[in-house]
Structure formats: C-alpha cells, structure tokens
Amino acid sequence: MRLLPGLRGTGADRSDALRVADRTLSAEALLGCANAVAGRIRGARAVAVEAGPSLEAMVGIVGAVQAGVPLVPLPPGAEPGECSRILRESRADVVLGRATAGCDLPVVPVDLRQRSWTTHPEPPPAADAVILYTGGVGGLSRGVRISHRAIAADLDLLAAAWCWTAEDVLVQGAPLFRAYGLVVGLLGALRVGSRFVHLDRHATAGPAGTIYLALPEQWARIARDTARARTLAGARMLVSGDAPLAPAVGERLRLLTSHRPVDGYGTTETLVVLTGPAGAAGAVLPGVQTRVLGQDGRPVPADGDSVGELSVRSPTLFSGYVDRPGSAPPADGWHPTGDLATVDPAGGHRILGRGGTHVVRCGGRPVPAHQVEEVLLTHPGVHEAAVVGAPHRTRGEQVVAYVVAAAGLTAQALIDHVGRLLSAAARPRRVHFVDELPRSAQGRVRRSLLIRRSAHTPLRDP
C-alpha cells in the first residue's frame, strides 16, 4: 500500500506542489529530495523533525514516510525537557534538519539541492507512520502511534466526503505537529495529489486556494479581519478542525465569504471521524461506528439532548501509546474518546467537549465549558475565552472565565451577555482578563493551570 501516491500521480509535473511563504518546491524536486532523505535514514527506529513552517521540515516529513521510518514531529519552541522526554519515549535515534534543545542524537541535514531517484520498498500497512504527541492540557503529553493503514483510510474517507481532488489547492495554517496540519493537511494533499500551501502563523495573506483549513482560534482571528476574510470568498470550502468552531465565528465567516465553514471532528487517536457544517450535528464518515454512552454504560436516547461519552470503532484508529507497550484499543475495537456528545434522531452528533476539566458541575448539573465559551465568543470584544470550574462551598463548582478581550470591556458586561443566552448556572461568577491563555507545547489551552488559579479562593454564595 502506497500512502502518498500523489507524489507520482497527476501532480508529478507541477512546479508549485509545495509552498511556504514565498518559497516553492516542484513535485519532481519534492520526490527527489524526499528520496535522498529516505536513503540516509532507512533502518532508523524513529526519526524526529522540528515541525515548523519550512520546506525543509516538509521534505523531512515526506522522507520519513518514504523510508517507512516512524516520524516524530516536535513542536517548535518546546521546552528542552519536553523534547528530551519525547525523543526518549518514542525511541527516536535520528533528528532531521537541525538539532533541537534537549537533543543529543545524530542530526541528518535536509539539503534541498540533493536528489535521489531510488525507489524504496513500501512498509507494511500496520507499520507506524507517525508518532504524534497529543494533550499536555492537564499533564504530560502522550505519544500516539498511527499506522500507514489508518492514515490512508481516513484520508480516503475525507477525500470522498469533501469531493477533494488533485485539482484543489489546499491552504492551511494548522501547525504541522498536530494531526490536522500534518495528516489531514500535508499528507492529505500528497495522497490526493493537490497543491499544498502552508501559511506561517503570522501570515496575513497567501496564494488563492480552493480549500482552506485552520484551527478554531485561527478562524476567529480571520473573522475579526474583515478584509482578509472577504478574500476567501473564491474558495470552494472552509474547514475547521481540532475543536468545534464557535457558532458566532462560523456565522460571521458565512456573512463575509458566503461559505458556511465545515467542521471535522476527531481525536489524535481516531483521526477525523465526523464532518458537517459548523454549528450543526456532524455526520459519521462511512465505515466509522460510534456510540454515546451515559454514566450507566447504556446508549443515551437519540434525542439530540441527552449527553454521554462518545466511543468510536473505525479503521482509522491508532495502534497504541508509546509509553504503554501493548496499549492498543480494546479487543472489541471501541475507543472511548473522553468527549461528551449528543446524538439526534438522524444520527448526527454534536460534540460538547471533554468530560472532567471541560465540564463544570454546578449543583449537580453539568455545564459544558465549551457551551459557555461559544457564547462569550459571540461578544464582539472577546478574542479568546476559556472556561473552568472553581470550587463553591454549597454548589460544588461555579463557572469562571478567562478572557482575552479588547480594552474597555467589563466583567459584568460579559456575565450579563452569557446570562441573556444561557441558564443561570452557566453564568460566570468571575471573569479574569488576561493577555494570553496558557497553552501546552501542542497548542492546547492548559485548563489545569486555570483551575489551579481559580481554586485558591473558593466562591461563596452572594
């Protein structure tokens, strides 16, 4: 099974198969450069790449896939201790491109002038293609082993669902060390054979594309930039991934671009398994099975209101965790995602967010943090928001919000804004204005830090 047939397919003569900022690489040059890298790393246990927005990083990534060596993307700027742990756990014995802090492994440079036309044998379908580190919200991130077969299955399902062809130009801002940027974005384009454009996080414009892929926080920034958003009107589709897109952001993008964004839901362990219009229930991709179980272990009613934990059984599932040998999904194939969801009579799923730190339990009633965050983001002065639970002496927990906002906005204005749209239990008891939200090396909001801040002073009844 060849994971990236697009390298030798319809796009083989394209002069701009890959683009980063003002640099391009042709499909022929990409294949030759990647083969040269593959020839130098064959036989390695695993290879690490600092997955920043550069042609060298992308060539290293493709070279690892061509060599059949598990790829370990490192977040740029990660702490040396975190990098050292990732390299040790993943058993990486080579670093591609350049040395990173906390690394004493041999370095294989990526030279875009080198070419090789050696054909490398395809790895077994069950072999690991990537080891993606995920989480880091409440503790250490975990290495997720994902096979060639799982990636190919997911990309083929998405290509069919999105009518994604070699004629498309995919433009993305999602980072290459996350599943959406690496698997769906880069590897997806190379499997389908479409052109691929990667935007630096600070880029304000880029080449015209037919598919734009970004994370919710990136779409929120684009929606606030009216001129930039309107340049996307010529696209075929806008895709948001990694977390549900706030309805207010989706609606503003629709008004500015005439496109209703598409949400793609999945975890690193499942890859993308649901897709549909943002703000609506997502449809399960063909061949994927889901179930939503209540606290009693039974399926919740398909009424669009009852909440349970989503489990997935799919050909796209991961193979295990690197820090837990033999930790494959259960024998029955069902993987519990940890995400809360509802299912409607038509089988559509709405994702509410994680249990635990993503749910505030106020007076015995669960309040999904994501629901409050969505409403906060509908206020024009709010740029980013994270909601957690703080201890309350009589109700168990109460809602506390951390907000990145425009100057002049008051806490009471936001409390009243939420109160007009949600129940009394969902209104924040406190609003803290911050310059930025704390994030893990993988870019996730570190709710555990916010919870610890909120726990110092338990709230009382007014």
> Rounded CA gap, 327 and 427, in Å?
40
pLDDT band at 192 (very low <50, low <70, confident <90, very high): very high
Least confident of 54-68, 174-188, 433-447: 433-447
Nearest Cα residue to 20 out of 197, 207, 174, 195: 197
Q: What is the pLDDT of residue 25?
A: 94
> Rounded CA gap, 446 and 403, in Å?
14
**What does the pLDDT look like over 99-139, one tens digit per residue?**
776 678 899 999 999 999 988 888 999 999 999 998 754 56
Q: Taking the CA of residue 70 as centre, how many other CA atoms within 13 Å lie in the half-sphere pointing to its CB?
A: 23
Q: What is the pLDDT of residue 80?
A: 86
**What does the pLDDT look like over 50-68, one tens digit per residue?**
999 899 999 999 999 999 9
Q: Does the structure show a pLDDT above 80 at 200?
A: no
Helices (H) and strands (E) in the chain, counts: 12, 25
Angle at 185 between CA 3 and CA 22, to 5 degrees: 115
> Across the chain, what does the average pLDDT equal?
87
Q: Taking each helix axis from N to C terminus, what angle separates 27-41 and 55-67, rounded to the nearest 10 degrees? A: 60
pTM surpassing 0.95? no
Q: Does the structure show a pLDDT above 80 at 444?
A: no
**What does the pLDDT look like over 388-432, one tens digit per residue?**
888 777 777 888 999 999 888 999 999 999 988 888 888 898 899
- In 273-392, alpha helices (H): 369-377
Q: Which domains does the chain have, with CATH numbers?
A: 5-214 (3.40.50.12780), 217-354 (3.40.50.12780), 356-455 (3.30.300.30)
> Rounded CA gap, 133 and 237, in Å?
28
Q: Does the structure show a pLDDT above 50 at 204?
A: no
What average pLDDT does the segment 435-452 reach? Answer: 79
Q: Does the structure show a pLDDT above 80 at 203?
A: no
Three-state SS for 448?
helix
**What does the pLDDT look like over 285-338, one tens digit per residue?**
999 999 999 988 999 999 988 889 999 999 999 999 997 766 667 778 899 998
Write the CA distances from 290 to 25, 283, 293, 347, integer angstroms. 40, 11, 10, 10
Q: What is the pLDDT of residue 378?
A: 82
Share of the chain above pLDDT 90, in %: 54
> Rounded CA gap, 439 and 201, in Å?
15
Least confident of 72-76, 80-84, 179-183, 265-269: 80-84
Nearest Cα residue to 402 out of 459, 461, 353, 447: 447
- Nearby residues of 420 by Cβ (< 8 Å), 6 or more positions away: none
What average pLDDT does the segment 168-184 reach? Answer: 93
